[in-house]
Structure 1
C-alpha cells in the first residue's frame, strides 16, 4: 500500500490511547523484517533510518531510503518512513523527496539556546514541505561514539517546565524525552520514571517519544504508554535478534559461505521481534 505519514500514525495512536512502534533500518533485511513483523501483527509501524545508518551506507541517503520505501510500499501493513537522529542539516534537507514524512532533528548536544534556534529552523523547513519534526530535550545516552551516561544521573532527565518552554519556542511536532532509558542497551533492565512521563505529558502539547526502548522491559513499556508515551523507538533489539541468529547458524554450519543461508534466519528472527513489540504497544 502507499506510504502513510508518521503524523497520521502517531495521531491515531494518541486518539486510541496506545503507542506506535518505530524500528531502525540498517540493511534491506531490517526493512523486510519490519514489514513482515507488522503484517504478522496486523499493526502499523514506522521504519526509521538514522544518520549513523546513512554513514554506514557511504554517506548517501538515496539508496537505503529507496530500498526501504520500496519494501514499505509493497507491504500490506500501514508503514511510514522516518529519518532518525539527524545532526546534519544537509542530511535533513536530503529527506525531502525520498519518501520521508518525518525527521528527528537532534540538536540535543548543543546548549539550550542553540538547540532552540537550530530546531526552530528545522521546524520552519519541515512546515514548508509537510515534514513532521521530532526533537530531543534531555540526555538519552548510549549513542555510538558518546561517553557512557547514567540515565539516572542528576540533570540527565527532561524537566517538564523546560520542555513546555522548548516546545513553545521551537514548534516541534513531537518530543523525545529522557526518563530513564538509554540507547544501545542489550539487556531489558531500564527502569523508567513514570511520574515524570505523566508530568511531561501534561506539560507539553505534542506526543512524547521514548528512545532506547530495546532496554525497557515489557511491563515498563506498557506503563510508559499508559503514562503518556506515544512513539516507541526500537533498534538494538533487532540487531540482537539478527546477530544471534547469524551466530547460531554459522556455529552449526561453519562451512557456509552463501549469506542467504544465514540472512534468512536473521530476517525471520527480527520479524518475530518486531511482531512482539507491536503486540506490546497496541
Structure 2
C-alpha cells in the first residue's frame, strides 16, 4: 500500500525503531525489496538515485512508474523516495511523478552555499507536501570530499537544520558508500549526541558496510532511516555469477535474473529485520 516517507520515518522514530530504505536500480530490485517487506511484514522505502536515473538514459518516469505500481499492490506500507539528487529538474520531475520525499544533495558545496540551495529547495518541496532529507558534509566514499575519519559536528548540524528547514539529516558517523565488506565501525556516542542536538530524524548512508549488531546499536543510539544499496547489488551479482559459471551456455536472462532477484529478497528481508524488527 502506498505510504508517505514522512509517515514511515516518524512512526519508526516514535517507536525507537529504524526504517530501511533500499536503492532501486532495476525492476528486479524493486520486486525483491517489496517481496521482502511483505515477507517480514515491515514497511519499507524504495529509493531511486540520480545515478540510477542516469543509468536508465536520464528518464526517471519508467522506473518511478514501476515502483509506484508495486507500492500500490503491496500488502505493507511502501514509500517512494528520490536519493542523492543534485539536478533540480529531475527533482521536480520526481515530485510530479508522485514521490513523497527527496534527498537533495548539495553537500559538496561550501557550507553557506549548501544552506542557501537546500533552504530554497526545501521551501519549494514543502509547498507541495514533499519531505526533504539533506546531507551536511559528505559521507565517505563519494569523490573523496571527506577523509574516512571526518564526522558531523552536532552544533553545526543543529545550525544547518534550523537554517534550511529540512525534515531529516544524513550525517557522517563512520560509514562509507559502496563498501563491499561489512567492516565499518560507527561512532555510537556521536549518534546519540546528534540525536540530542537536532530535532529531525537522522539518516545513515553507506549502511551496507556496517555489521548487523552495529546497525542495531546505531538505531538504539538514535538513527532512524537506514539507507542500503550495495548489499543488494552484492547479492544480485553473486547469484548471476554463480549461475553463469555453472551454466555458461545460458542466454535467457530469466534463468539468472530469477535467482538474482531471490538473493536480493533474502538479503533485504534480513536487513529489514535488523533495522526495523
TM over 0.5: yes
Contact 1:102 1:132 in 2 (8 A): yes
Deviations 1:204-236 (A, max 9, x none): 010000000000001110110011000000000
Instruction: Report Cα offsets for 1:157-179 as digits up to 9, x if no partner.
Output: 11000000000000000000000
Q: Distance in 1 between matches of 2:17 and 2:189?
A: 18
Distance 2:231 2:145 in 1: 19
**Pair 148,111 (structure 1): closer, same or farther in 2 beyond 3 Å:** closer
Partner of 1:189: 183
2:158 aligned residue (164, 171, 191): 164
Q: In the TM superposition, what are the counterparts of 1:1-282 in structure 2 within 5 Å?
A: 1=1, 3-143=2-142, 146-147=143-144, 150-152=147-149, 156-282=150-276
Shift of 1:142: 1.6
**Alpha carbons 2:81, 2:99 under 8 Å: kept:** yes
Contact 1:134 1:172 in 2 (8 A): yes
Distance apart, 1:151 and its partner CA: 1.9
Distance across 2 between alignment mates of 1:69 and 1:7 = 17
The unaligned stretches of length 5 or more in structure 2 are none
How far apart are residue 97 of structure 1 and its match? 2.4
State how far apart, in whole Å, the 1-side matches of 2:187 and 2:95 are.
Answer: 36
Report if aligned partners of 2:108, 2:145 keep a CA contact under 8 Å in 1.
no
Instruction: Please provide the CA RMSD for this pair.
Output: 1.0
Count of matched residue pairs: 276
SS for the counterpart of 2:126 is helix
1:149 Cα deviation from its structure 2 partner: 5.3
Unaligned runs of 5+ in 1: none
Maintained 8 Å contact 1:139/1:158: no
Distance 1:68 1:99 in 2: 11
CA contact (8 A) 2:49 2:84 kept: yes
Checking the alignment, whether the CA contact within 8 Å between 1:173 and 1:206 is kept in structure 2 is yes
Q: TM-score, normalised by structure 2?
A: 0.98
